[in-house]
Amino acid sequence: MMVTRFAPSPTGYLHLGHAFAAWTASRSGTRFLLRLEDLDTGRAREEFVAAIFEDLAWLGLSWEEPVLRQSRRTGAYREALARLAPFTYPCFCTRKEIADEIASAIEAPHGQAQRGPDGPLYPGTCRHLSADERAMRIARGDSYALRLDAAKAAANAGPLTFIEQDPAHAVDPLLFGDVVLARKDVPASYHLAVVVDDAFQHITLVTRGEDLLPAVHVQRLLQALLGYPAPQYAHHRLILDKDGRKFSKRDQSATLRSLRAAGVTPSGVVALF
């Protein structure tokens, strides 16, 4: 039996786009699990966790218990990071230093910054630090993030593919460059946590919005490095507002809460899909 999941972050009320993702996953004819991406302790709130359960149930969805909470899984992420150690390096750059480095690369003759799905890629500054310098800065207490050395990881993993609704696609392991896998105050980045948890929950079908399609490239690479099986992927179209824009969390009128308050019924919401 295939297993899929819906993995919202409890940082706001569920909006239509999320409801569509949950509904699509729960209708996929597979086992359906729910997982809370609540690692952002500054923004995740219990009030939103309760609202997620209540709004999904109101929509007529049911899921298997227990619901996995990423905030309880920091040990698993630490273990995965330890296994990825040959392919990571500490990065001491501040956001400003990275922005300055990118700006000067663009200003150089024929200069350009490499771009990924989330904007300019990290220019790799800290990849070139010596072992002594790394050790000295860590000992000194400098704060750092752990980044994936994407080229080294890609060379180790060899050619990879992923299955998106049947055809196999080639993975571009360098698409996100040297992504951050963890920070001092965040035990795992989204990419690392989702890969570790999909394997832990034996997810065989990743169902989510097509805005996350590029994320597969780095996630497949991490799966290969960690020796995890590759799930299949089904990225669904996004629900857009009347101006053709993706609903954002700021769009309070498109949350299930406000649709409910406005008297829309569950079948009225499903009709919007």
Considering only the stretches 1-9, 26-34, 110-118, 221-229, report the one whose residues sit in contact with ligand GLU under the rule CB under 6 A.
1-9
Question: What DSSP line would sit under 80-130, residue for residue?
Answer: HHHHTGGGEEEE---HHHHHHHHHHHHHSTT----EETTEEPP--GGGG--
**In sequence order, what DSSP letters do the residues of 117-144 get, joined into one string?**
TTEEPP--GGGG--HHHHHHHHHTT---
Look at the chain and count its residues: 273
Question: Does 178 engage in binding with ligand GLU (CB under 6 A)?
Answer: no
C-alpha distances (whole Å) from 167 to each of 99, 162, 170, 213, 232 are: 38, 8, 10, 14, 10
Q: Which stretch binds ligand GLU (CB under 6 A): 7-15, 97-105, 107-115, 243-251?
A: 7-15
Considering only residues 39 through 58, tell me which ones interact with ligand GLU, judged by CB under 6 A: none
Binding residue for ligand GLU (CB under 6 A) from 8, 123, 231, 266?
A: 8
Q: Using the rule CB under 6 A, is 9 a contact of ligand GLU?
A: yes
Residue 173: cis peptide before it, omega within 30 degrees of 0 = no
Check if the beta carbon of residue 207 is closer than 8 Å to that of residue 61. Answer: no
Binding mask 208-247 for ligand GLU (x = CB under 6 A): x---x-----------------------------------
* Residue 61 touching ligand GLU (CB under 6 A): no
Among 30, 34, 37, 195, binds ligand GLU (CB under 6 A): 37
Q: Which residue's Cβ lies closest to ligand GLU?
A: 208
- Contact residues for ligand GLU (CB under 6 A)? 7-9, 37, 194, 208, 212
